[in-house]
Amino acid sequence: MASSIRDVAREAGVSVGTVSNVLNRPEKVSPATVERVLAAIERLGFVRNDAARQLRVGRSRSIGMVVLDTRNPFFTDVAHGAQAQALSDGYTVLLGGSDEDSSREVALLDLFEEQRVAGLLISPVHTDLSRLWRLREAGTPVVLVDRGSSDHSFSSVSVDDVEGGRIAAQHLVDIGRSRIGFIGGPLAIEQVAQRLEGAQAVVSKYRGVALTVFQPQALTVLEGRRIGEEIVAMPAATRPDALFAANDLLALGVIQALVMTGSLRVPEDIALVGYDDIDFAGAAVVPLSSVRQPATEIGATAVKLLMHEADGDRGPEQVVFQPTLVSRASTLGYE
Amino acid sequence: MASSIRDVAREAGVSVGTVSNVLNRPEKVSPATVERVLAAIERLGFVRNDAARQLRVGRSRSIGMVVLDTRNPFFTDVAHGAQAQALSDGYTVLLGGSDEDSSREVALLDLFEEQRVAGLLISPVHTDLSRLWRLREAGTPVVLVDRGSSDHSFSSVSVDDVEGGRIAAQHLVDIGRSRIGFIGGPLAIEQVAQRLEGAQAVVSKYRGVALTVFQPQALTVLEGRRIGEEIVAMPAATRPDALFAANDLLALGVIQALVMTGSLRVPEDIALVGYDDIDFAGAAVVPLSSVRQPATEIGATAVKLLMHEADGDRGPEQVVFQPTLVSRASTLGYE
DNA sequence: TCTGATCATTGAAACGCTTCAATAACGAAT
DNA sequence: ATTCGTTATTGAAGCGTTTCAATGATCAGA
């Protein structure tokens, strides 16, 4: 069986307290003793039991993170940024994906709560935040990721999604398109709803420009392809001449559908803007214009806010990044 | 503070043993009592402390997973498959990325060992497996993922990488190419070395066909782009007329470089095969031919083998999947 | 009425760690 | 020689579970 701190103490001829000190505050122990204990640890192949440590200390050194989709490169990048920052603060990030399903989300929260995570980063499916309130009441700091806290009750780090929708739609209008299709859903996802809102705001300013909404079941390549096929099948008169997809996964799926059937050209017949500017966007059949968000920075910032909350010095803070448009071939851009 | 099982016991007027039974074997407790306890739990907002449970039980309900790169969609898919399978067995997967760096790998192993994970899935950077031996000796089942166990001492689930290299190279020869470039590295990564080995085996069978090796620092889009630029800069006479990239990230990077400079056409001037067939491969500028591996199935199988090891019935098992070629435009294929 | 057998509940003993008040050891200062 | 301060070490308490032998309650059968 795995040896315990007690075995190490016996082996090194010291007390358990001393072994614990060697592990946690070696500067409090005389060098000779440290050496002796380390040798014993080595000899026994001792590995500290984190469960026991945690039980005693009350909190874990892990941060729970819930994102909408672990397979979406955008969230992978956010998580990567969070990981790196957490590491430098001595924490570990546990990543879980809700797959945009609120029951999976609840299951993850249960799990993290049982683990007594040091904090929670979440990109919630729900608009209902009561569960998060409870968690926070119970002493677990919570930071909303990629989603603002409208009433400022939570710390959050987000990107201005309304503005993102605005610049995407404006760009399409600027290149002369008038029948704009928005692809995104479920609309219950705040980010999607806000990007739509931004697009609508622009469209309503121009007479002669109309917006049609296509609602996929999920924000995936597969669903994008399905919607793309749907659009190809529309009569040319009503078919959009420009599309704004709520994320790049959808956009890439749409491109696949358009290009594979070969009947419609991008951007000549249909221009296309995506969202997130994932690494793969620039390498697409038709390099994809996209609204860029600073993914890793979002993750890193979220962890920083979490640390602030944990310190308890200040109240909730909101950080809002501004999105930028990256224009490529799919909207006549160069690059 | 968070309430304990003791508080629940008091609130419900029963003993702690009974509360524990309600939590773990409700069928052993009379319905009336179950109800009373559940009500008390609800009233107090009790959440079981997993650290204490784990300390008592000795093992956690988590499986540690170490992959080479959490941002590579291939591994994301493998992890997803593992997650799903683990879930149905009542486990959780903790995912960590080594970034192909063995010190990060060691740090992750330390972490997982301290957590007393129920098992370990690993796609190791190292060829040296002694650390894993020790872990296994200590009672933690280990399964190698995407990597065979040459001496059959570990359970493993892998794909025949030599065969993968073979079919990729054979395909390039079949479409009439003779100056083949292999892009992959570091060669210390077994998968890369084996794919190269397979390619070499094919090339050596044909006189007049030569293989050049390009070694990126890492298997990323960025490195692919760098190598791609290097290739563009080569004199036409010695420049490869076909490339085989050790994974799709590299291949997409290469494509970006080739297409952006605009001087070389794919596949006319240079044909290109990738590896993994990630979702984005089919949506690339020039849809990418690729060697497909059954990613989610690999993950799911790995968890199954882990469960077998844990049961201890049988010895180590090796599962080897066969890769298949998906031919697209980048090698004159259709689709 | 009594005896077992069955079922539900109890309560205390770990699990392995950290923490902290108490003790020991040892010079320095008186 | 005595006292004081400093530094190093000790050992026991307690974190919140699970588990299991022991106890109590209930009931069928004789």
Residue in B51, B52, B284 closest to A284 by CB:
B284
Tell me the chain B residues in contact with residue A282 when contact means C-beta distances shorter than 8 Å.
256
- Subunit contact A49:B55, Cβ cutoff 8 A: yes
Q: For A294, phi and psi rounded to 5 degrees?
A: -80, 80
Arithmetic mean of pLDDT, B219-246: 95
Q: Is there contact between B60 and strand D, defined as CB under 7 Å from any strand atom?
A: no
The pLDDT of residue A304 is 97
A192 CA to D13 C1' distance (Å): 54
Tell me the chain B residues in contact with residue A256 when contact means C-beta distances shorter than 8 Å.
282-283
Tell me the chain B residues in contact with residue A221 when contact means C-beta distances shorter than 8 Å.
279-280, 283
Sorting pLDDT into bands at 50, 70 and 90, what band is A6?
very high
Sorting pLDDT into bands at 50, 70 and 90, what band is B285?
confident
The pLDDT of residue A115 is 96
The pLDDT of residue B1 is 66
Residue A239, pLDDT above cutoff 70: yes
Q: Is there contact between A139 and strand D, defined as CB under 7 Å from any strand atom?
A: no
The pLDDT of residue A311 is 86
**CA A234 remoteness from chain centre:** 34
Arithmetic mean of pLDDT, B99-117: 93
Arithmetic mean of pLDDT, B305-332: 92
The pLDDT of residue A315 is 86
Any idea which of A255-259, A311-315, B66-70 has the lowest mean pLDDT? A311-315
Residue B199, pLDDT above cutoff 50: yes
Arithmetic mean of pLDDT, B3-18: 95
The pLDDT of residue A312 is 78
The pLDDT of residue B246 is 98
Which spans in B204-246 are helix H? 221-232
Contact B149, B300 (CB under 8 A): no
* Chain B 3-32 residues in 7 Å CB range of strand D: 4-6, 16-17, 19-21, 23-24
Sorting pLDDT into bands at 50, 70 and 90, what band is A335?
very low
The pLDDT of residue A334 is 59
Q: Which of B232, B242, B222, B225 is nearest to B262 (CA)?
A: B232
A47 → chain B, closest CA residue? B114
Question: Looking at the complex, does the CB of residue A113 fall below 8 Å from at least one CB of chain B?
Answer: yes
More confident residue, B300 or B2: B300
Model confidence pLDDT, tens digit, residues A54-76: 999 999 999 999 999 999 999 99
Arithmetic mean of pLDDT, A3-27: 95
Question: Looking at the complex, does the CB of residue B187 fall below 8 Å from at least one CB of chain A?
Answer: no
Arithmetic mean of pLDDT, A128-137: 90
The pLDDT of residue A1 is 66
- Percent over 90 (pLDDT), chain A: 83
A310 CA to D6 C1' distance (Å): 35
Protein residue minimizing CA–C1' distance to C9:
B18
Test the B interface: residue of A42, A44, A55 with most B CBs within 10 Å = A55
Model confidence pLDDT, tens digit, residues A182-234: 999 999 999 999 999 999 999 999 999 999 999 999 999 989 999 999 999 99
Arithmetic mean of pLDDT, B33-54: 96
Give whole-number Cα distances, A279 to A92, A184, A245, B45, B255, in Å: 25, 20, 16, 44, 13
Residue A180, pLDDT above cutoff 50: yes
Any idea which of A238-247, B76-85, B90-99, B326-335 has the lowest mean pLDDT? B326-335
Sorting pLDDT into bands at 50, 70 and 90, what band is B68?
very high
**Can you count the helices (H) and strands (E) in chain B?**
12, 12
Sorting pLDDT into bands at 50, 70 and 90, what band is B51?
very high
Q: What is the average pLDDT value for chain B, to the nearest integer? A: 94
Residue B335, pLDDT above cutoff 60: no
Residue A333, pLDDT above cutoff 80: no
Question: Looking at the complex, does the CB of residue B54 fall below 8 Å from at least one CB of chain A?
Answer: yes
The pLDDT of residue B313 is 72
Q: Per residue, what are the HEC states of chain A? A: CCCCHHHHHHHHCCCHHHHHHHHHCHHHCCHHHHHHHHHHHHHHCCCCCHHHHHHHHCCCCEEEEEECCCCCHHHHHHHHHHHHHHHHCCCEEEEEECCCCHHHHHHHHHHHHHCCCCEEEECCCCCCCHHHHHHHHCCCCEEEECCCCCCCCCEEEEECHHHHHHHHHHHHHHCCCCEEEEECCCCCCHHHHHHHHHHHHHHHHCCCCEEEEECCCCCCHHHHHHHHHHHHCCCCCCCCCEEEECCHHHHHHHHHHHHHHCCCCCCCCCEEEEEECCCCHHHECCCCEEEECCHHHHHHHHHHHHHHHHHCCCCCCEEEECCEEECCHHHCCCC
Any idea which of A255-259, B130-134, B264-268, B312-316 has the lowest mean pLDDT? B312-316
Model confidence pLDDT, tens digit, residues B140-182: 999 999 988 878 889 999 999 999 999 999 999 999 999 999 9
Contact B18, B38 (CB under 8 A): no
Buried residues in B45-74 as b, exposed as e (16+ CB within 10 A): ebbbbbbbbbbeeeebbbbbbbbbbbbbbb
- Subunit contact A283:B252, Cβ cutoff 8 A: yes
Question: Looking at the complex, does the CB of residue B114 fall below 8 Å from at least one CB of chain A?
Answer: yes
The structure's pTM equals 0.91
* DSSP reduced 3-state for B26: helix
Sorting pLDDT into bands at 50, 70 and 90, what band is A260?
confident
* The pair of three-digit structure tokens given for residue B118, joined into one six-digit string: 């129920």
Residue A2, pLDDT above cutoff 90: no
First and final C-alpha spacing in chain A: 61
